[in-house]
């Protein structure tokens, strides 16, 4: 049976669920694929209909300061109240049945690639586990942390609304700081699902990051974890709705994009660095998952 859950990019999601207006068109046309940060009250009246179960390719962080609303992420329903942050992780299934116009706060939306840019630090990405599908998406904002988080969201909102395209350096710096603040609130062990499948998935992710340049297969990771490949795949799919191979490929892509952004290595050198002896196979791997060759992707970076 074909899945009814649709995966959207940012532009398709906006066209599906938001009423067009000159104001929103002007805002979103600047960087609809990469980033936006707006006040909830500026966009809530433009929502056309309840959001059916969907996935997005980007992360969305919503900080509620007044009012409340209900949303479902995966199979669990959450009531988001004042001084709480809900995170719709890229790839997570979410829905909202009732649209509330009396909710105030901020919504910050960004593609994972924005964290990779030329100032990115891929070792820090592994610290932000709350961005991984399967982790608890609701964060309570403590009184002492609220001013800093509001200030960061105000600054991101101001940068998005400024004339011209948002400055990627400013966006990247404030976004990383925001995520670091949220990581402090989450802590290492609180607000996460500690099921067996979650623990296996978390261990698998860490091993995939640690061995990202060895071009390992799922069976290699299963052997390292002393479980069968089928058990590993089932556990990862239970948590992320993706296969272990898909998650491994995503982690490889992050590393490849870092090298394309931040190193002067040639494409052949990057292929070798990532454990690919055949540069043409490496290029096919990258194109299949991004619709661009590594060379085309690097040119896009240079133009941005």
Residue 40 sits in a domain whose CATH number is: 2.60.120.280
What is the b/e burial string over 28-46, where b = at least 16 CB atoms within 10 angstroms of the residue's CB?
bebbbebbbbbbbbbbbee
One domain for residues 40 and 58: yes
Q: How confident is the model at residue 1 (pLDDT cuts 50, 70, 90)?
A: very low
Residues 96 and 139 in one domain: yes
38 and 151 share one domain: yes
Using DSSP's 3-state secondary structure scheme, residue 88 falls into strand
Q: Are residues 78 and 180 in the same domain?
A: yes
Strand ordering across the sheet containing 76-80: 6-8, 51-56, 94-96, 69-73, 76-80
Please say whether the beta carbons of 17 and 44 come within 8 A: no
Q: Are residues 152 and 229 located together in one domain of the fold?
A: no
Determine the Cα–Cα distance for residues 88 and 94; give it in Å rounded to an integer. Answer: 7
118 part of a folded domain:
yes
Closest CA to 207 of 256, 244, 260: 244
pLDDT at site 304: 61
More confident residue, 177 or 21: 177
CATH of the domain at 259: 1.10.10.60
Q: What backbone torsions phi and psi does residue 273 show, to the nearest 5 degrees? A: -60, -35
Pair (178, 283) in one structural domain: no
Residue 71 in 3-state DSSP? strand
**Domain membership of residue 275 as a residue range:** 196-303
Distance from C-alpha of 304 to C-alpha of 111, rounded to nearest angstrom: 15
Number of structural domains (the chain) is 2
> Are both 33 and 140 inside the same structural domain?
yes
Q: Are residues 238 and 126 in the same domain?
A: no
The last residue of one of the domains, among 153, 186, 219, is 186
- Average pLDDT of the segment spanning 232-261: 90
- For residue 10, the SS3 value is helix
Domain boundary among 186, 218, 233: 186
More confident call, 178 vs 27:
178
Does 193 score more than 80 pLDDT? no
pLDDT of residue 189: 41
Tell which wins on pLDDT, 118 or 58. 58
CA–CA separation, 87 and 159 (whole Å): 21
Write the pLDDT tens digit of every residue in 256-283.
Answer: 998 998 888 999 999 999 999 899 999 9
Q: What is the pLDDT of residue 100?
A: 62
State percent of the chain over pLDDT 70.
Answer: 84
Mean pLDDT score of the chain, rounded to an integer? Answer: 84
Same domain, yes or no, for 29 and 178?
Answer: yes
The string of pLDDT tens digits covering residues 49-107 is 678 888 888 899 999 999 988 898 877 888 999 999 999 988 888 888 766 668 899 99
Is 30 within 8 Å of 165 (Cβ atoms)?
yes
134-185 tens-digit pLDDT: 776 889 999 999 999 999 999 999 999 888 778 888 888 899 999 999 988 8
Are 36 and 157 contained in the same domain? yes
Do 168 and 203 fall into the same domain? no
Confirm whether pTM is higher than 0.95: no
Tell me, yes or no, whether 191 lies in a domain.
no
Residues 30 and 164 in one domain: yes
The domain boundary, picked from 128, 161, 186, lies at 186
pLDDT at 42: 81
Helices (H), 162-243: 168-186, 196-210, 218-224, 229-240
């Amino acid at each position: 049976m074909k899945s009814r859950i649709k995966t959207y990019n940012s532009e398709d999601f906006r066209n599906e669920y938001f009423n067009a207006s000159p104001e929103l068109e002007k805002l979103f046309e600047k960087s609809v694929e990469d980033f936006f940060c707006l006040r909830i009250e500026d966009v809530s009246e433009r929502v056309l209909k309840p959001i059916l179960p969907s996935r997005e390719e980007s992360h969305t962080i919503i900080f509620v300061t007044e009012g409340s609303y209900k949303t479902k992420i995966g199979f669990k329903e959450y009531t988001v109240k004042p001084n709480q942050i809900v995170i719709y992780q890229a790839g997570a299934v979410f829905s909202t049945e009732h649209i509330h116009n009396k909710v105030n706060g901020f919504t910050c939306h960004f593609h994972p690639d924005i964290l990779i840019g030329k100032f990115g630090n891929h070792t820090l990405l592994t610290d932000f586990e709350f961005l991984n599908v399967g982790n608890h998406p609701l964060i309570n904002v403590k009184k002492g942390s609220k001013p800093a988080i509001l200030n960061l969201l105000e600054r991101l909102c101001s940068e998005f609304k400024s004339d011209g395209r948002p400055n990627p350096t400013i966006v990247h710096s404030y976004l990383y700081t925001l995520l670091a603040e949220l990581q402090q609130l989450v802590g290492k062990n609180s607000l996460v699902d500690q099921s067996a499948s979650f623990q296996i998935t978390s261990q698998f992710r860490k091993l995939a990051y640690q061995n990202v340049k060895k071009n390992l297969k799922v069976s290699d990771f299963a052997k390292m974890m002393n479980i069968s490949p089928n058990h590993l795949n089932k556990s990862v799919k239970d948590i992320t709705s993706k296969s272990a191979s898909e998650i491994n490929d995503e982690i490889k892509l992050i590393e490849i994009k870092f090298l394309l952004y931040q190193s002067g290595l040639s494409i052949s050198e990057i292929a070798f660095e990532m454990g690919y002896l055949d540069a043409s196979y490496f290029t096919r791997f990258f194109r299949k998952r991004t619709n661009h060759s590594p060379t085309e992707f690097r040119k896009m970076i240079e133009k941005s």
